[in-house]
Amino acid sequence: MVLLVVAMIVVGGATRLTNSGLSITEWAPIRGALPPLSEAQWLSEFEKYKQIPEFSAEHPDMDLAGFRFIYFWEWAHRQLGRVIGLVWALPFLWLAIKRRLPRGRGFAYTAVLLLIGLQGAIGWWMVYSGLQEGMVSVSQYRLATHLGMAFVILGVLLWLYLEFRNRDRADSGRKFILPGVLLGTTWLQIVAGAFVAGTGSGKTYNEWPLMDGRVVPDGYLIQEPALRNIFENPAAIQFNHRTLAYILLVLFAVAAWRYRRVPALTAPIVVLGALLLWQVALGIWTLLAAAPLNLALLHQFSSVLVFLTAVWLTYRGRNIRY
C-alpha cells in the first residue's frame, strides 16, 4: 500500500505538471474505469474538454492525439486511485468478516479505508474547481488539500506497517517531541510546495539565494488582507517555501546533535540528513532552471522519500529507551 500511494503521488505530479488534470470533465467512479474504446468515444470526450475554459485559454490548437496524451495521465491517476481503494478494501473486508483483524487495530484500518474514499472525493472537488467559468487550472487551495491528504494517508500506512513489523516490541521509551515537530514541518513544507505548483510560483524569481536582489522580495505583503499573500501571492509563496526549507535544515541539525548517542536513531538520521541535503540542492536547481518537468517531478518524488524517512525517525524514536 505504501508503494502504491507513492506511485499515486508521482503519477499525480506528472498529471499536474503535464497540465492533464482537467482532461476528464466528469466523475464516473465505475463507468470511468474504462478509457474510450472507439474513435467516436474519443471524439465525444474531446468535445467535452473543448467546452471548459482551459481548452480555449491554453490548448486552442490541440488535436485529438494531443488530447489522448493528457487524457492518459488523468485516467491513469484515477485508475490507480481505484486500484488503491480495492487493494485495501477487499482484504480488509474479508479479514473483518472472518474476525481476523489485529486486536486493537480495527479502528485504524477502518480509518484508512475512509481516508482513501475521502481522498477520491477531494480529488473530484479539486478538479471541479478548474471546470468553472473563468478558471484555467484547479484551485491551489484544493490542490494543496489533495496533496496534503495523500501524504497523511502515506504516513498512516507506513506507521501501521512499522507497528505490524514491531508488534512484539514494547513501547517503553519516552516520547520524542523533536522528531514529531520535524515530521510536521516536513508535511507543512510539502503543502507549501503544492501552493508553489498551483500558482506557478516556481517559474518566478529564478535566482538564489536572493529574490530579485533582496532577502525578502518586494511585494511580499502587496495583497489585502495580508493573510491572502501566504496562499495567493507568488512572491510570498516562494519565499515561504524557501524559508521552510531552511527551518527544516535547522530542526534536523538540532535533532541530529540531540540524538547523536542514540544508536537506534543513527540510520534514520543519516538517511534523512542525506535526503534533506539532496532535496534542498535539487530544489535550488529546479528553481534556477525555471521548474522544467523532469526536475519538478524528481523534486516531488524526493519529497516523498524525505517524508517517509521522517515518519521512520519519529516512529523509531518513540519505541526506544535513551
Which of the listed residues 135, 168, 201 is the one where a domain comes to its end? 168
141 and 181: one domain?
Answer: no
222 and 317: one domain?
Answer: yes
| Residue numbers of the domain that contains 11 | 1-168
Which residues of the chain, if any, have pLDDT below 70? Answer: 167-175, 319-322
* pLDDT recorded at residue 29: 83
* pLDDT recorded at residue 172: 47
98 and 3: one domain?
Answer: yes
Q: Judging by beta carbons within 10 Å of its beta carbon (0-12, 13-18, 19+), is residue 38 exposed, middle or buried? A: exposed
Which of the listed residues 152, 168, 184 is the one where a domain comes to its end? 168
240 and 319: one domain?
Answer: yes
Helix (H, G, I), strand (E, B) or coil at 18: coil
* pLDDT recorded at residue 11: 94
162 and 247: one domain?
Answer: no
Which of the listed residues 168, 185, 214 is the one where a domain comes to its end? 168
Instruction: Quote the pTM value.
Output: 0.93
* pLDDT recorded at residue 103: 81
- Report the distance separating Cα 281 and Cα 279, nearest Å: 5
What is the count of structural domains for the chain? 2
Q: What's the grid cell of residue 260?
A: 547523536
13 and 132: one domain?
Answer: yes
113 and 183: one domain?
Answer: no
* pLDDT recorded at residue 3: 97
14 and 80: one domain?
Answer: yes
Which of these, 274, 275, 297, 276, lies nearest to 286 by C-alpha position?
297
* pLDDT recorded at residue 175: 64
Residue 245: C-alpha distances to residues 242, 249, 277, 291 (Å): 5, 6, 10, 17
164 and 311: one domain?
Answer: no
Is the C-alpha dihedral spanning 116, 18, 142, 121 positive or negative? negative
Alpha helices in the chain (DSSP H): 2-17, 39-50, 53-58, 64-97, 106-130, 140-165, 177-199, 228-232, 234-258, 266-288, 293-317
